[in-house]
Amino acid sequence: MKKALILLITFIFNSILLISSDNSLQNKSMFPLLGNEARERGYELPNPYGINVIYVDMKQDVDIKALNLTGKLSLFGGKPLELGNIISVKADSAKTVNTNELVKADLWVFPFLNVYGILGKTKGHSTALVDINLGNSTILKNYDFTLKYEGITYGVGTVLAGGYKDFFSLIDFNYTSTSLDIIEGNISAFVISPKVGYNFNFYNTKNSIWIGTMYQNITQTLKGDINNLITFPKGIKVKDGKFEVKESTSSPWNNVIGFRSEINKSVEFTTEVGFGKRKSVTLSLGYRF
């Protein structure tokens, strides 16, 4: 799956870069398919190819599905015991903060169908208050269990769009995966975002506003050395201690409102704000050709 996503993203980026560097290819572009028919019916279409630089800041709660510890535990120099049989960790939820710096390349295949690839970097942290129990005794209560991570994000998506006069609707589907490189693990996200909006002109610029919702199904697995995160009381030593945390989205749905402005036929600026139990801000600068 990873290799297929990377190959598809590479193909999209290379194709768009090739076309953008050759004016003759742009003028002879066959995309979007059925574009002439749509223009004859009075629809004004965007340039078919696009490259966007995107920044995303997102905060949300996640449910902790599992928090497992492995390794050998020694109490005051005694015989090492299996860590998972002696120590238990309890936590129900965590708060995550993520920032994404992305590049998106897209193509309008039909006037109503856009496909795109995403490549970039994700950085963030997950914080939970956990109780760490030794047998029936709590040795650390409300311990600040914070995991910092970053990694490379890649993904693909598609947009289905339609409109009537100045009104439009669309639905965006995308899947992304992030391979972490500070701690072990990965993050995968499936997103669906339906929106309705209105196009208008203002001081010789073409603009759009919209409202909608966003569904995110995010699962993340974080792994690492437990001694880098937890300071055990004196006399307790853990050898080869590892942790594994599995988290998923607590509130999949939130609301969004957005605005886009075409500085000219080729350059556009987009911003979108998410609110509700998941809060986000997205900024995008795009070039179309």
Q: What percent of the chain has pLDDT over 70?
A: 90
Query: The pTM is what?
Result: 0.85
Q: Which residue has the tokens 């995403």?
A: 118
How many other C-beta atoms are found inside a 10 Å radius of the C-beta of residue 61?
A: 14
The torsion angle over the Cα atoms of residues 108, 171, 57 and 269, rounded to 10 degrees, is 40
* Residues ≥6 apart with Cβ < 8 Å to 160: 112, 113, 170, 171
Please give the DSSP secondary-structure letter assigned to residue 90: E
Per-residue confidence at 26, pLDDT binned at 50, 70, 90?
Answer: very low
Query: What pLDDT, on a 0 to 100 scale, did the predictor assign at position 73?
Result: 79
Query: What pLDDT, on a 0 to 100 scale, did the predictor assign at position 25?
Result: 47
The torsion angle over the Cα atoms of residues 244, 249, 250 and 254, rounded to 10 degrees, is 160
Task: Work out the average pLDDT over 129-142.
Answer: 85
Pick the closest to residue 217 from 190, 193, 194, 192 (CA basis).
190
Phi/psi for 226 (5° steps) reads -65, -30
Task: Work out the average pLDDT over 123-128.
Answer: 94
Residue-wise pLDDT tens digits, 204-235: 899 999 999 999 999 999 998 888 777 777 77
Per-residue confidence at 5, pLDDT binned at 50, 70, 90?
Answer: low
